[in-house]
Amino acid sequence: MKKVVIVGGGFGGLNAAKNLVNTDFDVTIIDKTNHHVFQPLLYQVATAALSPGDISAPIRTIFSGSKNIKVIMDEVIDINKDEKIVILPDMKISYDYLIIAAGARHSYFGNDSWEPFAPGLKTLSDALIIREKILRALEEAEKLNPADYQKYLNFVVVGGGPTGVEMAGAIAEIVKRSWLRDFKNISASKTKVYLIEAADRILLPYPPQLSLKAQKQLESLGVSVLLNTKVTAVNQDGVFVGNEFIESKNVIWAAGNAASPLLKKLNTELDRAGRAIVNTDLSIPGSTEIFIIGDAAAFKDENGNYLPGVAPVAIQQGKFVADLLKNNASGKKTFKYRDKGILATIGRAKAIAFIKGLKLTGFLAWLAWTFIHIMVLIGFRNRVRVMTEWAWYYITFRHGIRLIVDKNSAKYY
């Protein structure tokens, strides 16, 4: 049996493995965690709308009935292309084919010192850190006089992409309509949410008309959208935008991504975001047995545009590479992305969607977003739990997951 090593249990790696189940390949999945996370809903864990178990599943459980798939929870620290070996801290694993789906982390564009004050949102740990950061800010505000608590009620989201937009909308809606009901000393009218975007509009991948609709929906929730605005510094007290300072204990970073540093071990060409520039079959030049997929791959479509780092791209690329291996067709086929549409939610019954040229806004777009996310979630149990939570919130405007477990319960990595 030929050995396939998959690095990363995200959307790309998971779908590559799923399509190699019960084949003649010996497949090993290596991931730093023991679970797959449905990343598009991480912001709902961060805003206490869902619990971590609602949007994740153990990778071992997913493949428990697959005899040819094994899972290792560890970190790949090096790759020897000549000997076809991936190197872990305490072991080495040989491969005939290597699929790297290592994903990406948030990037501070060379300002890594901002990270402790402005956490990003890529993992469950990140989501729990942000959740506790917000909850603790409210608890601190409850103890202070109105003249002193404004910095705890200012929420700043940096980055106007889908994650930033969804996060800003969720905070504006949940904090004002749901959470503050339980606090006696805090006025909801004092809550301020800022969305900062360096470009001239939010949601750049969407048509300008939909970007404007999304901005208006955010503003209807009380979000101040600051366009053509760059963050120049972040510290423990807030953010500098130009010469102005926004005082805040709640800064969330959603402004950029950087690919896994593991790609540097391949000695192949990378783009400015650290992604590997791949061939048309997603392999890297000079190594037809190594494939890069998902957020780690820099791949241009037929129009010469780089594909975005979104789940549908990773899913399709994972399936494509698995089919290549099963058909022994490396180098003979070209990956073609089938764009099924893009969606973003802003709040309760507020969303935008661009599907096959069709532009949707408001309730219809929100229904489409809800249906698609429920269907893509892994496991019947997850779907039922998430659907129940959403229905409960839609009726009552109340979320039930607002626990601060322990001061050291979520460390930042």
Question: Domain check: are 173 and 223 in the same one?
Answer: yes
> Do residue 148 and residue 276 come from a single domain?
no
On whether residue 396 sits in a domain, the answer given is no
66 inside domain:
no
Residue 246 lies in a domain: yes
Task: Indicate the average pLDDT of the chain.
Answer: 90
Is 153 domain-assigned?
yes
For residue 181, pLDDT beyond 90: no
Q: Is the pLDDT of residue 124 over 70?
A: yes
**217 and 316 part of one domain:** no
- Confidence check: pLDDT of 412 > 60: no
Q: What is the pTM of this model?
A: 0.90
In the numeric block, which tokens belong to residue 331? 């180098």
Which of 142-146, 157-161, 239-243, 356-360 tops mean pLDDT? 157-161
Instruction: Give, for 387, the enclosing helix (H) or strand (E).
Output: helix 380-396
| 313 lies in some domain | yes
pLDDT interval class at 383 (50, 70, 90): confident
Q: 65-77, pLDDT tens digit by residue?
A: 999 999 999 999 9
Q: Which CATH number goes with the domain that contains 142?
A: 3.50.50.60
Residue 240 has pLDDT above 80, yes or no: yes
Co-location of 177 and 285 in the same domain: no
User: Is the same domain home to 80 and 157?
Assistant: no
- Is the domain of 235 the same as that of 311? no
What does the alpha-carbon distance between residue 263 and residue 391 come to, in Å, rounded to a whole number?
42
Q: Among 105-109, 343-347, 369-373, 374-378, where is mean pLDDT lowest? A: 374-378
Residue 401 confidence (pLDDT) above 70: no
* Dihedral sign (CA 257, 272, 293, 320): positive
Q: Which domain holds residue 206?
A: 112-255
Quote the DSSP letter at residue 300: B
Q: What is the pLDDT of residue 345?
A: 92
Q: Which of 139-143, 275-279, 348-352, 392-396 has the lowest mean pLDDT?
A: 392-396
Backbone angles phi, psi at 5, to 5 degrees: -110, 130
Task: Give pLDDT, residue 406.
Answer: 62
Average pLDDT over residues 134-143: 90
Q: What pLDDT does 413 receive? A: 35
Q: Are residues 96 and 140 in the same domain?
A: no
For residues 117 and 243, state if they share a domain: yes
Residue 219 inside a domain? The answer is: yes
Q: Are residues 101 and 89 in the same domain?
A: yes
Contact 318, 309 (CB under 8 A): no
- Residue among 254, 49, 51, 54 at smallest CA distance from 170: 49
Strands 85-87 and 25-31: unpaired
Q: Is residue 334 part of a domain?
A: no
| Number of domains within the chain | 2
C-alpha distances (whole Å) from 335 to each of 16, 275, 279 are: 14, 17, 9
Collapse the DSSP code of 337 into the 3-class scheme (helix H, G, I; strand E, B; otherwise coil) and give the result: coil
pLDDT of residue 154: 95
Domain boundary among 222, 255, 288: 255
Domain match, 234 and 303 both:
no
Q: Please report whether residue 65 resides in a domain.
A: no
Q: Pick from 196, 225, 255: which residue ends a domain?
A: 255
Which one of the listed residues 132, 166, 197, 389 is annotated catalytic? 166
Output the CA angle 77-83-87, nearest 5 degrees.
15
Same domain, 128 and 247: yes
**Which of the listed residues 302, 326, 350 is the one where a domain comes to its end?**
326
Give pLDDT, residue 3: 97
d(CA 179, CA 402) in angstroms, rounded, equals 9
In this structure, the answer to whether residues 249 and 262 fall within a common structural domain is: no
Query: Is residue 166 annotated as part of the catalytic site, yes or no?
Result: yes
